[in-house]
Amino acid sequence: MGKRVFISADIEGVTGVVHFDETERHKDDFTLFRKLMTGEVNAAIEGAIEGGADDIVVRDAHGDARNILPEELHKQARLIRGWADSPLGMMEGIDEHFDAAMFVGYHAAADTPDATLKHTMSLRISDVRINDIPMAEAGLNALIAGMFNVPLIFIAGDKAVCEYSRHIFGPLETVAVKEGMGSAAINLHPESSRELIRLHAAEAMRRLNTFRPFHVEPPYDFMVRYRHEHLAYKAQFYPGVKRVDNTVVLFTAQDLKDCFTFFYYCAG
C-alpha cells in the first residue's frame, strides 16, 4: 500500500542561495533560485516515490508561499500555494493521515555559527526554545508534524541545519547542500544536490518504520527572545505570557496547539 508524504519547502537552504535578495520575488536573482528550489523539491518527490509514496503534498513555505513553479513541479504531487493564515504556518495542510514529513531548503536557527541566512521565522527573533530545547524552524515544524503523529524522516538544507536535526531528532536522513563560511557558503553543484536529495529521500522512505514522531512532554515553556525591546513589550499582553526581561517573553501551556497559536500572533 502506498504512503502519504508531506513536504515543507523553504528557499534559504537551497543550493547556491547566499543572500536574502535571492529569496525575494522582486529581486533579479529570484527567478533562478525559485527554479532551483522547485528542482530540489522535485528530487525529494522522486525519492519519495521510489521509496513507496503514492500521495505527496508540497507546502510552499517561504515568503508569500508563491515560489515553486507549478508547471515544473512533479505531476504526482499536489501543491499548496499562498497562506491560509493558521498557526500551523509552514506546515499548513498536514494532518494525521500522512505517513511522513520531509523538509527541503531548510536553514539553521538565528545566531547559529557557520550557517547560511540563519533566522527563526522572523529576522526580529534571536532565540526560540521549548522546555529549554533550542528550536530552529525545523524543530518547530517537526513538533507540528508530531502533533499529528507524523514523523520527520528527511531534511535537506545547509550543513548547520542538518547537524542540528541529527542532534535533536536522531539519525534521520539529511543532505547538506552547502556549508556556511561567514556570509558566504561552499555549495554543491545543483545537479549533485538533486541527486543526493533523491537518493536520501528514497532511503528515508525505505527506513520509514525506524522513525518516530518528534514530541516534547508537557507542560510547555515556550520562550521567545526578540532583538528589539518593543516586541517583547507588545507580546507580554498576550494571555498567558510573562515578560522575563526587556527582550524575552515566556508562554506556558499544557497544550502544544496553544503554544503555536501564541507564536503565530507574537512571532514579531
Tens digit of pLDDT for each residue in 215-264? 999 999 999 999 999 999 999 999 999 999 999 999 999 999 999 999 99
Name residue, grid cell 507574537: 266
Digit-coded pLDDT (tens) for 176-196: 999 999 999 999 999 999 999
- Please list, in sequence order, all residues whose beta carbon lies within 8 angstroms of the beta carbon of residue 241, skipping any fewer than 6 positions away: 235, 249, 250, 251, 262, 266
Give the pLDDT score at 55.
97
Range 86-112 average pLDDT: 97
pLDDT at 134: 97
Burial letters 70-108, b for 16+ CB under 10 A, else e:
eeebbeebebbeeeeeebbbbbbbbeeebbbbbbbbbbb
Res. 135: pLDDT tops 90: yes
b/e per residue 220-258 (b: at least 16 CB within 10 A): bbbbbbbbeeebbebbeeeeebeeeeebbbbbbbeebeb
Look at the block and give the residue holding cell 526587556.
246
Structural domains present in the chain: 3-210 (3.40.50.10780), 220-266 (no CATH)
Compute the distance between CA of residue 265 and CA of residue 8 in angstroms, rounded to an integer: 21
> What are 40-81's pLDDT values in tens digits?
999 999 999 999 999 999 999 999 999 999 999 999 999 999
Asked if the model's pLDDT at residue 174 lies above 90, the reply is yes
pLDDT tens profile 141-156: 999 999 999 999 999 9
Separation of alpha carbons 163 and 149, rounded Å: 23
- In this prediction, residue 2 has a pLDDT band, given cuts at 50, 70 and 90, of confident
Give pLDDT, residue 268.
72
